[in-house]
Amino acid sequence: MPANLPPDYQKAKRRYEMATTPEEKIAILEEMLAIIPKHKGTDHLRADLRKRVSRHKQEKEVARKKGKKGFSYHVRKQGAAQICLVGMPNVGKSQLLTRLTRATPEVAPYPFTTQETVVGMMDYDNISFQLIDLPAITPDYVKPWQPDIVKYADLVWLVVDLSSDELLDQVDPLCDKLRTHHIELVREVPEEPEREEIEDEDELSPLLWYKKTMVIANKSDAEGADERLSILQEFYGDRFPIVSVSAERGDNLDKLPHSAFESADVIRVFTKAPGKPVDYNDPIVLPRGSTVLDAAYELHKDFAERLQYARVWGANYFDGQAIARDEFLYDENIIEFHTG
Ligand SMILES: Nc1nc2c(ncn2[C@@H]2O[C@H](COP(=O)(O)OP(=O)(O)OP(=O)(O)O)[C@@H](O)[C@H]2O)c(=O)[nH]1
Ligand SMILES: [Mg+2]
């Protein structure tokens, strides 16, 4: 990311991330392109934005052809990050959702129980994550609207079944299926310049959507689960982080909210007014690498524009240290804004 992008750009970027329709996204990208100064340092960024514009134009075209005007399966983001549960039939995706959130999807011992998205919030300390349970995906079938949900999610939890001898076939064939929809499940999302476009018959080759993925090996209570887990580790341990759980018995479920927090790459920042106590209940959640100014924008645009400096407590700073608008913030920093 080139340094010194104007604050208006960051603001637009945030609106872009929240935007739900291709039309809205295109409009915001055009705005971002107009804001960015034109020089060598911003070449990559401008090229990326232009690619995104063509991708959204393509999405718009596809939607128009399908005639699905006005209706969308899009799930509006809530909480610190949106995580979608992806997996073959009967692996326990819905059971996991019932155990981690207050949602109540149907759980049943036969495949293709879930037919629609079911959403629930999973708490972690003073923040929460949005989980989306999806219908099963198989190498032969994915509902037409499902890839879009995966594309827009922040994280993927790929659920597999430790009670099944077909366990190994629950990872790669599914990754292959998603790849046909331009989604690549990965341990870490590569940096922008390393990203490659995949070739397509269409003139406009869509970008690959890299999705940071963790494998959840469910049903660790089942007979033979330990041996199957070792095999899974051997085959896929290098490619994905793997955590084994039992949605039924509860084993390791308490690790998942923390894993979500770690993978989401977010920080929590507490605010305080001068001379007042800290509000620990409602942190501002920001992407890792955010600055004082980013935090101020979360509160209010006008406020951010008037911001002069901040005092900060906690990680990486002396207690009450005065820092400039463009200094980085760290998880659980307490911040006191000072405006002019
Ligand atoms: N032994 C065991 N069974 C489980 C566990 N989690 C889920 N199950 C069972 O596995 C079956 C399928 O669970 P679901 O949660 O409906 O699976 P799903 O992945 O949502 O299935 P689809 O909606 O069809 O894709 C049910 O009979 C659950 O009771 C577990 O941790 N251990
Ligand atoms: Mg289900």
For the CA of 224, the nearest ligand: 1
Q: How far is ligand 1, taken at its centre, from the CA of residue 248, in Å?
A: 8
Model confidence at 72, pLDDT cuts 50, 70, 90, reads low
Q: Which of 303, 293, 282 is nearest to 328 (CA)?
A: 293
Q: How far is ligand 2, taken at its centre, from the CA of residue 94, in Å?
A: 4
Instruction: Judge if 161 and 276 occupy the same domain.
Output: no
220 occurs within a structural domain: yes
Model confidence at 75, pLDDT cuts 50, 70, 90, reads confident
Count CA within 13 A, CB hemisphere, residue 305: 5
Nearest-atom index, ligand 1, CA of 159: 19
What CATH number does residue 302 fall under? 3.10.20.30
Q: How far is ligand 2, taken at its centre, from the CA of residue 128, in Å?
A: 22
Please determine, for residue 244, whether its predicted confidence score (pLDDT) is greater than 90.
yes
For the CA of 221, the nearest ligand: 1
Instruction: Choose one of 264, 282, 312: the last residue of a domain.
Output: 264
Q: How far is ligand 1, taken at its centre, from the CA of residue 156, in Å?
A: 18
Neighbours of 265 (CB within 10 A): 15
Count how many domains the chain has.
3
What CATH number does residue 116 fall under? 3.40.50.300
- 168 contacts 231 by C-beta, under 8 angstroms: yes
Least confident residue range of 14-23, 158-167, 270-279? 14-23
Nearest-atom index, ligand 1, CA of 245: 31
Residue 272 sits in which domain range?
Answer: 266-339
74 occurs within a structural domain: no
What's the CA gap between 162 and 220, in Å, rounded?
6
Instruction: Judge if 275 and 228 occupy the same domain.
Output: no
Is the C-beta atom of 112 inside 6 A of ligand 1?
yes
What six digits make up the tokens of 236?
A: 């896929």
166 occurs within a structural domain: yes
What six digits make up the tokens of 107?
A: 């759980």
Instruction: Judge if 210 and 303 occupy the same domain.
Output: no
Which 8-state DSSP code applies to residue 170?
G
What's the CA gap between 193 and 179, in Å, rounded?
20
Q: How far is ligand 2, taken at its centre, from the CA of residue 123, in Å?
A: 21
Which 8-state DSSP code applies to residue 291?
B
Instruction: Judge if 294 and 201 occupy the same domain.
Output: no
Secondary element (H or E) of residue 96: helix 93-100
Instruction: Judge if 125 and 212 occupy the same domain.
Output: yes
What six digits make up the tokens of 301?
A: 């645009």
Is the C-beta atom of 111 inside 6 A of ligand 1?
yes
Residue with the two structure tokens 């995580």: 83
Instruction: Judge if 188 and 251 occupy the same domain.
Output: yes
Instruction: Choose one of 237, 264, 291: the last residue of a domain.
Output: 264
pLDDT digits (tens, 9 = 90+) for 11-33: 888 788 777 788 888 988 998 99
Nearest-atom index, ligand 1, CA of 249: 31
Q: Which of 263, 29, 254, 238 is nearest to 157 (CA)?
A: 263
77 occurs within a structural domain: no
Q: How far is ligand 1, taken at its centre, from the CA of residue 131, in Å?
A: 16
Pocket test residue of 84, 91, 95 for ligand 1, highest count of atoms within 8 A of CB:
95
Instruction: Judge if 129 and 181 occupy the same domain.
Output: yes
Q: Which of 200, 139, 194 is nearest to 170 (CA)?
A: 139
What six digits make up the tokens of 40?
A: 């060598």
Instruction: Choose one of 215, 230, 264: the last residue of a domain.
Output: 264
Q: Is the dihedral of CA 237, 251, 257, 128 positive or negative?
A: positive
Is the C-beta atom of 91 inside 6 A of ligand 1?
yes
313 occurs within a structural domain: yes
Count CA within 13 A, CB hemisphere, residue 245: 27
Q: For ligand 1, atom 9, name the residue with the nearest CA.
A: 92
- 116 contacts 129 by C-beta, under 8 angstroms: no
33 occurs within a structural domain: yes
What's the CA gap between 310 and 337, in Å, rounded?
5
pLDDT at 16: 85
302 occurs within a structural domain: yes
Instruction: Judge if 156 and 252 occupy the same domain.
Output: yes
pTM: 0.80
What are the DSSP E strand ranges found in the chain? 82-87, 118-124, 127-133, 155-161, 183-186, 209-218, 242-244, 266-271, 284-287, 307-313, 321-324, 333-339
Q: How far is ligand 2, taken at its centre, from the CA of residue 208, in Å?
A: 27
Instruction: Judge if 47 and 184 occupy the same domain.
Output: no
What's the CA gap between 243 and 232, in Å, rounded?
11
Instruction: Judge if 251 and 271 occupy the same domain.
Output: no
76 occurs within a structural domain: no
pLDDT above 90 as % of the chain? 64
Least confident residue range of 8-22, 88-102, 132-146? 8-22
What are the DSSP E strand ranges found in 60-182? 82-87, 118-124, 127-133, 155-161
What's the CA gap between 329 and 29, in Å, rounded?
27
Instruction: Judge if 60 and 143 occupy the same domain.
Output: no
Instruction: Judge if 33 and 129 occupy the same domain.
Output: no
